[in-house]
Structure 1
Amino acid sequence: MSRVGKNPVEVPGGVEVTIDGGTVSAKGKLGLLSMSFTDDVEITKDGNQVTVTPRSNVMRARKMWGTARAQIENLVQGVSEGFTKKLVINGVGYRAQVKGKDLVLALGYSHDVIYPIAEGLTVKCPDQTHIEISGANKQLVGQTAAEIRAFRPPEPYKGKGIKYEDEYILRKEGKKK
């Protein structure tokens, strides 16, 4: 019995969910998202709740039960509220700025790193050391944040680099004399 899958997904007001075979679409104030699911799970809508049940007791169906439910919840939350990831840049001379549809990062390399912003995402730089990535698609927001962080991951000695806002960097002690 899936602890995640057995709970129904609540659909808030202003969000419209349609189920067409194995495809679930959610439409809200932040846009339209849709996702296809396997035939191992059955997705039904009752009023303002979406429930997911496995079609059989096969291992794959039980695995996809909780996964499908979580992905449907991400669709509904994405079109109603959206998702945000915040990054912090630490280091002398390290900075970020948005120019048009590109994020320009100065990270101590001989050149600036230019990262193109994907369609459907909003990237803001409230100041030179903070980056806010927001959008309706949770996977796209997280993937973009991870790719930006990978340009200069935080190092353990001085803490220089790009890190998530809530990330804690384990610091190491330097060399002894």
Structure 2
Amino acid sequence: MSLDGVSSQGKGYQRELSNRSVYSAFQIAVQLPRLYDYIYAAFPKLYNKNGGSYGKINAVKSLNRRHNSHMAPYGHEQVEYLSPDGFITPLVYGLRALMTIEQPQKSNDSPHVVWSQDPVPWLDQHLTSIIKRYVTIFTPWEYDPQKIGKSIGSYQNALDDYKLALAGIE
């Protein structure tokens, strides 16, 4: 934000955003907490739908025993299960597959980040198959959210799962 190509000096220490590319990235970024909560709320149900038993995972049992209130992290809506962030964050990272850089129509305009698909309707249609592939990493990582959430492979796997769904490979 301190770069002159991104923002200009405003009042005092403030700077005014002037770069449309960065502005478009911020427009996407403000949607991510809502999408995180969407995935967070859907994950246990879709995990179970794919033959799992989410509530029996030790990390899930432990987390849910320690908290009386089961709320999504950002919007604070009621959820069936609290989920370790290490299980959810790679799936949120996978949303990158739904973003693209749109090149400007006018020569004086700058590229901007946009959704290639409207994320919520797209997730409604494809999240089940994404999770079915994604959870195959749970066994090698012994259902440990710390290992899953810290492994670069988990993030790449989730991104690849999104790309497969985009390509129509369910």
Normalised by the size of structure 2, how large is the TM-score? 0.27
Q: Per residue, is there more helix in 1 or in 2?
A: 2
More strand by share: 1
When normalised by structure 1's length, the TM-score is 0.26
Decide which structure has the larger Cα Rg and report it: 1
Which structure ranks higher in relative contact order (CA pairs < 8 Å, sequence separation ≥ 6)? Answer: 2
